Chain A
């Protein structure tokens, strides 16, 4: 039949990925041809996975040609489903891989020093993203995915969430803006399947957050999730900066405001520089807005992966401005950023002394504590306790508690 519908999905010749071509037939059942770099070892398994996927999607008569470069089953399923959905409307949730990972509900309070970005249409990069010790991972559906691949990336990210263990990392998905045709579909495809936090790009008003919140809430109810998915607005325009407080306060789900320097520089009509003078005021305003709203605030990425000194300087500056983390585009950036955000032994020691002095004063019934010649007031106490909480979270107080097994 010459006019039969034919669709394709996947990436040809890419490691841990596959390209699939699907041809609709009138009869004859499902036929599958597999070419694979690991065909001698996994050929039968690839065919079985492909067949089961097509059957569960209700494609009874079709031919699938698979060109595989060592993709795992959950990737094969995502690519075949993408090709199938490009062929016809599929009702229901699609073909979900069995859940391989279990997590607790999203945690509002957590360290977010580093958030590792990974392109959502690249299975090879996403697979090991949880191994590098980042506080959060971001599976990105927005800028790293071309418009023609949004549908496929969404399925891949869904299957990745169900399959890949990200250990203690916060699992963030960056969706497309709700103003685009993709945003709502993105939410529908990821909210039910194990995402902790939705990173919402190009937020400019509290209204942007309300829209996202409503859709998320509806999906939680529909899928009886029993927990609340969190929201992380990404602010990358002048308007967004000036509305930072309202955005941060728009929903209880908001946990942190993030800055996006590249789009911001374009928005105000300037070039982005390594030093970031063009965004200094904006970043300071963002810190104020976030703090006023009682949420965390996270700086943009540092784009030059080779320049470790520059990264450290940029991170120190961000910390000095009040930021609590940075975006990360390569795992090599994680350790230097963590080192900057970790309290030094000297600061921990001092914080311990402050708290000890206060507790001593309180036990003696005195309202005023001093350390050396300095009076310890409430902000000093608060800062000391914050340092100790951070040190504890990072396991830097181990000696004290005699921990370690």
Chain B
């Protein structure tokens, strides 16, 4: 174990793999060469259609210890991951590495396959029940959590070698071209599956909506696909995306969103050319869009682009002309899906163009304002989105680490969630270092990272409740009291990887709690 640049002790090797400690947000510049998938030829792919998922799986010749990957655009409606892993378990396979871009509560049945040794560990992302199982030490190897950009990088750089990629495709043709724009399981954007299709040994496309050739746009290109099969249903449409995303009704969260919008106005970024922003689909983010829209309308500002998570509110802004383009990473509601299919200014992106750190550039640093939520933030502005203050691993990183490359990264969060203060002296787990976090906006105050003297200077004269982060910590803890720290075993159950592949923190197994 060695201390990384943030003083967290991290291993130099784990399960036989050499690891690099985190050195700083932009310290590591890569090097070496990308992974190389096998060379194939046309004559072997005369017919890719398989009669069933079983046939497709058998054609892949999966063996113990292999790595299989999935994407998460079907979110909590996804049937595919459980369906495929059940079939792998039926075949008696063991010790598989699962590489999903995210997991949801619907994937709770995986826990049995983890306990039975079908799955040895997970690299990518975990949410909810599977994360909880990980915290209890259920997996035989340490998991690795990566951001969306980090997952692309790891596949591209060869840190993960995918043997078989399973791609759930809401619309596909017999050749394997596919996208998420239409069909009963339409999910809109499907970019998270791109790296899998480019670098896997074998790629299987599953669809419940087989269309005549050519399905276009071919977000996933048939030339990268080995097998195509149909299944009854890819997922539950009602849970794939919400019918409508809803602005928070909590007055406190609305107040946070209003402060965030006033912050944007007061620091003057709207007066500069080329305004751009990225905001998620959480309740505070949506309310922020509403307030930001009001200010943009008043001041006549038009954003060059907005990074989505698309949703009704962002699409409304696009259609009203407040945004020139949506560069979309995933659709959060039906309005987003419809707009992606119809509006030429609503563009589909993937983690290579938007997030991957080992490229010759991506969109993330072009974004002026990134608005993000957090579970915890400490007085050094380090942020945790992975574990709760009681030590449970409950969330993936998502795009969080990648969005922090924005020119101004804003964290919006309630200062107190019930009794839990969001500010701590030292976060339970570091997802992103304080050096990339610029301001915390809560219902009781706005704290700017003291390293951003420029922002502090621009906030002079603002009537926002500006305070130091220490003052805000005292405000919160004064009411709540200091929480007790969780107790851990020695064993590391998960590594948190920074965007560049270095280890920024670890998650330890929780001591059994009564």
Give residues in A with beta carbon < 8 Å to B: 15-16, 37-38, 40-45, 69-73, 100, 127-128, 131-132, 163, 330-332, 404-405
Contacts and interface: CB of A to CB of B under 8 A. Distances in A.
B251 interface: yes
A41 B483 contact: yes
Contacts of B252: 128, 131
Contact of B420 (A41, A43, A44, A73): A41
Contact of B419 (A70, A100, A128, A405): A70
Contacts of A15: 418
Interface string B466-500: 00000000000011110110100000000000000
A42 B390 contact: no
Contacts of A128: 251-252, 255, 443
B418 A404 contact: no
B147 interface: no
B484 A72 contact: no
A331 B461 CA distance: 25
A404 B463 CA distance: 9
Contacts of B391: 40
B136 to A, nearest CB: 14
14 contacts: A37-B418, A38-B420, A40-B391, A40-B484, A41-B419, A42-B480, A42-B483, A45-B481, A70-B419, A70-B420, A128-B255, A131-B444, A332-B251, A404-B461
Given A16-B418, A41-B483, A42-B483, 17 more contacts: A15-B418, A37-B418, A38-B483, A40-B391, A40-B513, A41-B419, A42-B481, A45-B481, A45-B484, A72-B419, A72-B479, A100-B478, A127-B416, A128-B255, A131-B252, A132-B255, A404-B461
A72 to B, nearest CB: 6
B254 interface: yes
B287 to A, nearest CB: 11
A353 B461 CA distance: 28
Most chain B CB within a 10 A radius of its CB, from A40, A43, A331, A405: A40
Contacts, number: 62
A319 B313 CA distance: 35
B458 to A, nearest CB: 15
A41 B389 contact: yes
Nearest to B513: A40
Nearest to B484: A41
Interface in B390-433: 390-391, 416-420
List of 8 A-B pairs having minimum Cβ-Cβ separation, nearest first: A70-B418, A41-B483, A331-B251, A70-B419, A40-B390, A128-B252, A45-B481, A38-B419
Interface residues of B, number: 23
Contacts of A41: 389-390, 419-420, 483-484, 486
Nearest to A405: B461
Contacts of B416: 127
Nearest to A74: B479
B484 A71 contact: no
B360 to A, nearest CB: 45
A37 B392 CA distance: 13
Contacts of B390: 38, 40-41
Contacts of B417: 70
Nearest to B481: A45
Contacts of B420: 38, 41, 70
B101 to A, nearest CB: 30
A38 B481 CA distance: 12
Given A40-B484, A72-B479, A131 B419 contact: no
B379 to A, nearest CB: 18
Contacts of A44: 484
Contacts of B478: 100
Contacts of B483: 38, 41-42
B475 to A, nearest CB: 9
Interface string B367-394: 0000000000000000000000111000
B286 to A, nearest CB: 15
A132 B251 contact: yes
A19 to B, nearest CB: 15
Nearest to A130: B444
Given A131-B255, A332-B251, A73 B444 contact: no
Given A331-B251, A331-B255, A38 B461 contact: no
Interface string B115-130: 0000000000000000
Contacts of B479: 72, 100, 163
A330 B251 contact: yes
Interface in B271-328: none
Chain A CB within 10 Å, residue with most, of B252, B389, B391, B418: B418
Contact of A40 (B255, B481, B486): B486
A16 to B, nearest CB: 5
A41 B479 CA distance: 14
Contact of A71 (B254, B389, B419): B419
Contact of A73 (B251, B461, B481): B481
A41 B428 CA distance: 12
B251 A42 contact: no
Nearest to A38: B419
Contacts of A405: 461
B419 A16 contact: yes
Interface string B238-270: 000000000000011011000000000000000
Contacts of A163: 479
A128 B255 CA distance: 10
A42 B419 contact: yes
Interface string B159-187: 00000000000000000000000000000
Looking at B255, B390, B481, B483, the one whose CB has the most chain A CB atoms below 10 A away is B481
Identify which of A69, A128, A330, A404 gathers the most chain B CB atoms within 10 Å of its CB: A128
Nearest to B510: A40
Contacts of B443: 128, 131
Nearest to A43: B484
A95 to B, nearest CB: 17
A72 B480 contact: yes
B139 to A, nearest CB: 22
